[in-house]
Structure 1
Amino acid sequence: MPEWLLTFEQIYYTYSGAKQSAVNGLTIKIPAKKKCALIGQNGCGKTTLFLLANGLYKPQKGTIYWQGQPLQYDRKFMMNLRQKVGVVFQNPEQQLVASTVEEDISYGLCNLGLPEAEIQQRIEQALVDFDLTSLAQRPVHHLSLGQKKRVSIADVMVLKPELLLLDEPTAYLDRMHTRHLMSTLKNIHAAGTTIVMATHDLDLVYRWADWVFVMDRGRLVLEGNPQDVFTQRDILEELQLGVPLIYEMLYAADEFAEERAVLERLRQRMLNVFREF
């Protein structure tokens, strides 16, 4: 497998009627086998990047490469790409199309024209992998939000993608469902899938990610491992992103230590003055 799965080179995309580009000269490389986080303010281009990544949108300028090969926008190439690059949207309602959980998971497989026996085997395995066996015949509209998110991920992973793109996967989930989801993602990554997660949860990014991309106004402005990125406090504050809680605590401790040092120097000066008298 090449070092980079997906590469954007000087990509531009502007929505119809918009005054500014959603993606504005974006150059970014997604490293294979990593857990990557994508952070930035709303409107910075994160979701557009995902839609460009699996060919739902076509760039107006620039080139996107999948494993070194430029994307071709014909039906055959796109069908193959969308098996390899899976996108899970923030709102699972955008992806759930069938009546029951089992039918929904089978939807993408049926479109591939696979043998019936292989389709059934993949469905059964997905139900087990995502703890959905007891919900197989449950109507999709009867599911909780956390269950719907599990189904939407199963819908994508049943196709066995090499790259999984997740747009705010923990949004609106409580702590229990978030922990369950992160456990699921851990298993997906351990099985060999590269993951890119767009999120506003910086504490989650610090705990989970191997690599962090920071976007602003459709461009990549910073990247690196979490420790290197989150020490760039001035840049992150300028972008109004802030830093994880652990860094806030460390910065506060440093400031407190500096204040104590100043007070100690003042105390020593006062003692010296009194000694002179």
Structure 2
Amino acid sequence: MSEWILEFIDVSYSYPYSRQAAIQGLTLRVPTGKKCGLIGQNGCGKTTFFLLANGLYQTQHGVIRWRGQPIHYDRTFLTQLRQQIGLVFQNPEHQLVFSTVEEDISYGLCNLGLPIPEVARRVQQAIAQFDLSELAHQPIHHLSLGQKKRVSLADVMVLQPQLLLLDEPTVYLDARHTQDLIGQLQQIHLAGTTIVLASHDLDFLYRWADWIFVMDQGQLVLEGPPQSVFAQRQRLEQLQLGIPLAIELIDRIKAIVEEMHAQRSNHPNSTNG
């Protein structure tokens, strides 16, 4: 198995009429089998990175490699790529296209030309996996935001992708729906899917991720295990990202302990050695 499932090598992309590149000279490698967090200020290039990775946008410079092979932009290759790299948009309204939940989940499978019995089997499996049985025949527009996000995740996972990309999946979700999502992602990862998740929720990523990417102005500026990345407090504050609450508390406790030691050492009754 390759060490990297997805590689961006010196990739650049600019939107029409934009003065600044959304992605510029980006080199980023996603480790196979890991849960990866992607952070950065709004406008840093996270969403563009996802759209390039999924083949919805084409690179203007540089190379994207999927499992060691460069991405091609012909229809056959892209159809296969989008089956293997699943993308869940921040807004589920951009992803859900059919009238009912069951129809929407079956859409991607029908596009693959699978036999009807296989489509039915996999749709029912996804409905059970994402706890959508009571909603299967419900109109999409009757669903809550949390329910729509669950359906959009089922839409992607029914294709059994090897890499799952999620753009701000917890935004606007309450605590219960967020916990449900975390549980679903854990099961997806345990089944063998590599995950890259973009989020502003640093506390969640600190607990959940194996690896963190930090982007700024279309470039990768930091990466590593959460403990290593979030230990670089000064750099993260320069990027206006802050640090997780757990690290903040640890730093405060350390400061209090150091102050207590200093006070004891300066006390007239203290002894040395």
TM-score range, shorter chain: over 0.9
CA distance in 1, matches of 2:256, 2:75: 61
TM-score, structure 2 length as denominator?
A: 0.96
Q: Deviations over 1:147-198 (max 9, x none)?
A: 1000000000011100000000000000000000111111111111110000
**Residue in structure 2 matched with residue 170 of structure 1 by the alignment:** 170
Give the corresponding residue for 2:59. 59
Report how far residue 23 of structure 1 moved. 0.5
Structure 2 CA distance, aligned partners of 1:36 and 1:215?
A: 13
What amino acid does structure 2 have at the position aligned with 1:198? A
- In structure 1, the partner of 2:11 is 11
How many percent of aligned residue pairs carry the same amino acid? Answer: 61
Q: What residue in structure 1 maps to residue 224 of structure 2?
A: 224
Tell me which structure has the larger Cα radius of gyration: 1
Runs of 4+ residues over 4 Å off in structure 1: none
The superposition leaves residues 99-139 of structure 1 with CA deviations (integer Å, 9 ceiling, x where unpaired) of 00000001111111111111111101000011001110000
Equivalent residue number for residue 242 of structure 2: 242
- TM-score by length of structure 1 reads 0.95
Q: Which amino acid aligns with 1:146?
A: G
The Cα of 1:19 is off from its aligned counterpart by: 1.1
- State the match for 1:275 in structure 2: none
Give the structure 2 partner of residue 102 of structure 1.
Answer: 102
Q: How many angstroms does 1:11 deviate by?
A: 0.4
Q: Which runs of 5+ in 1 are unaligned?
A: 273-277
Q: Secondary structure at the match of 1:77?
A: helix
Is 1:212 paired with 2:216?
no
Match of 1:146 in 2: 146
| Counterpart in the other structure of 1:129 | 129
| Contiguous gaps of at least 5 residues in structure 2 | none
The CA RMSD over aligned residues, in Å, is: 1.2
Work out the CA distance in 2 between the residues paired with 1:238 and 1:231: 13
Question: CA offset at residue 143 of structure 1?
Answer: 0.6
Cα separation, 2, equivalents of 1:48 and 1:255: 40
SS in 2 for 1:97: coil
* Cα deviations by residue, 1:75-100 (Å, 9 ceiling, x for unpaired): 00000000000100111111000000
Q: Is 1:83 equivalent to 2:51 in the alignment?
A: no
Equivalent AA in structure 1 for residue 58 of structure 2: K
Count residues in correspondence: 270
